[in-house]
Amino acid sequence: MTGICEGRVVVVTGAGRGIGREHALEFARQGAKVVVNDLGSNTDGTGSSAGPAGEVVDEIRAMGAEAIANGDDVSDFDGASRMIRSAIDTFGRIDTLVNNAGILRDRMLVNMTPDEWDAVIRVHLRGTFAPTRAALDFWRERSKAGEDNDARIVNTTSPSGIYGNVGQTNYGAAKAGIAAFTIIAAMEVARYGVTVNAIAPAALTRMTENLGMGQRAADIPADQFNPLSADNISPIVVWLGSSESAGITGRVFNVMGGHLSVAEGWVEGPAVDKDGRWDPAELTGIVPDLVARAAPNAAMSGRRP
């Protein structure tokens, strides 16, 4: 296989189904050797099966490319280390890490349980930290030994995290954390030859079919381009995971169908300054005016209403 990732070694988490599966397949088409990580769990994180990861590996090998399956839990620090080590032991190194694994436990905040909160935060946020930390150990040691890295990390945030969605305080908080993690990590690891970016994808998967996307997809004629197809997300991820993206780091990209945009983060809006400490009562005449002059928060589309 030849392509923009020819010879690169790539680890994709949550790659047994959905968007992660498409990432793994596209990396393979572009010449990468792929570690397909997946627990094979349900959308809420319960259960496990070796089947999905193994099936993707079979598809990749049928292309004539190289791949291995990994069933470690990415939110477990030791498990994440084993996953990264499997890439190094099998293929000699790791060049790109795609943190894609995730679960859903949607609930209105007034009904959300501590377990529903903790499970989502653990898989998304800790499940981004732990593999990243393990990969960085490898790249940092290479850098200290005088070797150059051309390394990439691609994280997965969400419109729910950077724009907000009702019923997803746990998921949105985790995804917002991943966006912040991406920006800060990019600052910290540039010295080691590592870039860090993220995507905020919108596509039809097991996790989104009950959020309205299933019906929207059903209304699209089979012979037309389907903007909700999960495979539309992978081109930007593969490009960000390649050597071509060397100059891009610390950015979050919105992607749906053929639409691609750069998410612009929090910026300071209308302001007022006083040469001294505010009295709380004074702010009654200040804060409403600031808010009235401020741009509204973006909708889930990423655009202001």
Please say whether the beta carbons of 71 and 48 come within 8 A. Answer: yes
Is 192 marked active-site?
no
Parallel, antiparallel or unpaired: strands 67-70 and 96-99: unpaired
Tokens of 209: 């079919």
Q: Of 239, 135, 154, which Cα lies nearest the Cα of 200?
A: 154
Find the catalytic residue in 158, 160, 234, 245: 158
DSSP string, 58-119: HHHHHHT--EEEE---TTSHHHHHHHHHHHHHHHS---EEEE---------GGG--HHHHHH
- Whether the CB-CB separation of 65 and 32 falls below 8 Å is answered with yes
> What distance in Å separates the CA atoms of residue 102 and residue 45, rounded to the nearest whole number?
8
The verdict on whether 48 is a catalytic residue reads no
Q: Are strands 259-263 and 252-256 parallel, antiparallel or unpaired?
A: antiparallel
Element at 152 (helix H, strand E): strand 151-156
Q: Which position among 175, 234, 242, 245 bears the catalytic label?
A: 175
Catalytic annotation, pick one of 75, 163, 171, 242? 171
Q: Is-catalytic flag, 86?
A: no
CA dist., res. 237 & res. 257, Å (int): 13
CA 254 to chain centroid: 11
What are the catalytic residues?
Answer: 158, 171, 175
